[in-house]
Amino acid sequence: MRHFFPELNAWIDQIDDPRFAPMVVYHKRFLVWWGLGLFFCRLGSRRQLDFQFAADGPQVVGNFNRLADTAQQSRPVNQTLEYFLRKVGSAPIAGLRQQMVRRLIRMKALDEARLHGRFVVLVDGTGYLVFGHRHCAHCLTQRHGETTLYMHQVLEAKLLGPADTVISIATEFIDNRDVPVATGQERAKQDCELKALRRLLGGLRKDFPQLPVCLSGDGLYACGEGFQVAKDYRCDFVYVFQPGRLPALWQDFQALLRLCPDQRWERVTPDGVRQVYRWVNGLRYTDSAGRQWAFEAIACTETKKDGTESEWSWLTSLKVSHATVVGVAMQGGRQRWREENEGFNAQKNSGLNLEHAYSHTCWAAYYFLLQIAHLLLQLVEKGSLLRRLAEAQGKRTAVQWFGSLKNMAQRLLESLRYVAWTEETLAQFGAGPIQIRFDTS
């Protein structure tokens, strides 16, 4: 964590300086940290900056100066941050995220979660901003009876790290420029996301040309275009296989499963769930554009202790065998549900307030600040330092120790307001040459 401060500050320095009209000029490093504080203290709205970071918190300015390596005498108001972000735009903030992720990859902090040498990248879309009025020319519209909602969606690529970390690595905003005219709603949604997927991976490959990637996505990507996009951007994939989406292929799959009864693996998970895996190698498929594909398909039946059964299936470009089936299905397939749990949900529900419109003009910049702050929070929450401190208190995890993520944010805010963070306090984040280690036990 401490490791990031000088580097993050150096990266912020690379942002082009906007011309400032206000009388008091704030250093851009100070403003970026101020903006990150909005999220790492989980303040919930931009207005809260003016109250929670106000003068009744005597150490706030000093502590931000220490983080940003600046010498600001006064505190900005939330409009100062807004003004700054409007001037610089969202691209440099996205660039900061990219540099942080690149750093984590380079220091091998995420290697433990690799699947067959590849990084598992979850792809998923979510509703992001919803307004009761049209707020820009590109809102997606949705009719609900008498009312029309104006929305923005986002498609995210999230890299799966160790200890359930979920790290935003590429982002595409979806708006009405993606919607083809005159198609049904479900169809339109799929076309939208597939188009956005192509842009998303284009961006990911520009930033990370050599990264070995295995995409993990839901059933909507299991189609000709979904396979083609993965191929074009040199990605492997594990996509959910839904009977209804590819009915003829599903029938082939079921027939072939019966022909290869040896391709079966059974196990009981540590929490007592019985899993039966069956698979088919080299399942062939010709898509609507006449392109030929061959991949592996896995079916998994789960029986919980109470007798409830569930079934899962995936299509994958990874090789499936007795030795690899569990890894591919669990790390590549099942993990995609983690994005909902650890990624979007965590960002919607834990005070990060993803769906809040932090700004009507430069919301994308706030979106990336949120992603960076969430990454920092995960490093703190799941890193080895807090775990060791928690263990000293007889607790297993930092969250158990503090009671909740919200409590952790509150303690952080209290500390930011009232405790002067000395050089040693900051250094304690990682005494000596830094290693970020995740709690994977």
Q: Which is nearer to Zn ion, 86 or 135 (CB)?
A: 135
Q: How many CA atoms lie within 13 A of 113 on its CB side?
A: 28
**Is 149 among the residues that bind Zn ion (CB under 5 A)?**
no
**3-state SS, residue 328:** helix
**Applying CB under 5 A, which part among 28-36, 137-145, 290-298, 405-413 lies near Zn ion?**
137-145
Contact 152, 128 (CB under 8 A): yes
Q: Any contact of residue 118 with Zn ion (CB under 5 A)?
A: no
Tell me the window of 138-146, 279-287, 374-382, 387-395 that interacts with Zn ion (CB under 5 A).
138-146
The reply on whether position 148 binds Zn ion by CB under 5 A is no
User: What is the distance between the alpha carbons of residues 152 and 222, in angstroms, rounded to a whole number?
Assistant: 24
- Separation between Cα atoms, residue 32 and residue 128, nearest integer Å: 22
In this chain, which stretch among 34-42, 61-69, 101-109, 132-140 interacts with Zn ion, using CB under 5 A?
132-140
d(CA 338, CA 120): 12
Q: How far is the CB of 139 from Zn ion (least distance, A)?
A: 3
Report the alpha-carbon distance of residue 157 to residue 169 in Å, rounded: 6
Give the nearer residue to Zn ion in terms of CB position, either 136 or 434. 136
Q: Which of 1, 77, 130, 136 binds Zn ion (CB under 5 A)?
A: 136
Q: Smallest distance, Å, CB 179 to Zn ion?
A: 13
* Identity of the residue numbered 253: F
Which lies closer to Zn ion via its Cβ, residue 135 or residue 199? 135
Toward Zn ion, which CB reaches closer, 61 or 139?
A: 139
> Tokens representing 238?
């594990």
CB of 176 to Zn ion, least distance (A): 8
How many binding residues for Zn ion (CB under 5 A)? 3
Q: Tell me the window of 135-143, 161-169, 266-274, 281-289 that interacts with Zn ion (CB under 5 A).
A: 135-143
Selected binder of Zn ion within 2, 87, 103, 135 (CB under 5 A): 135
Whole-number Å distance between alpha carbons of 214 and 121? 6
**151 touches Zn ion (CB under 5 A):** no
Does residue 85 interact with Zn ion by CB under 5 A?
no
Helix H segments across 237-321? Answer: 247-259
Nearest to 9 by CA among 40, 30, 36: 30
Burial class (CB in 10 A: 0-12, 13-18, 19+), 208: buried
CA distance 64 to 318: 47
Measured from the CB atom, is 130 or 136 closer to Zn ion? 136
Binding site for Zn ion (CB under 5 A): 135-136, 139
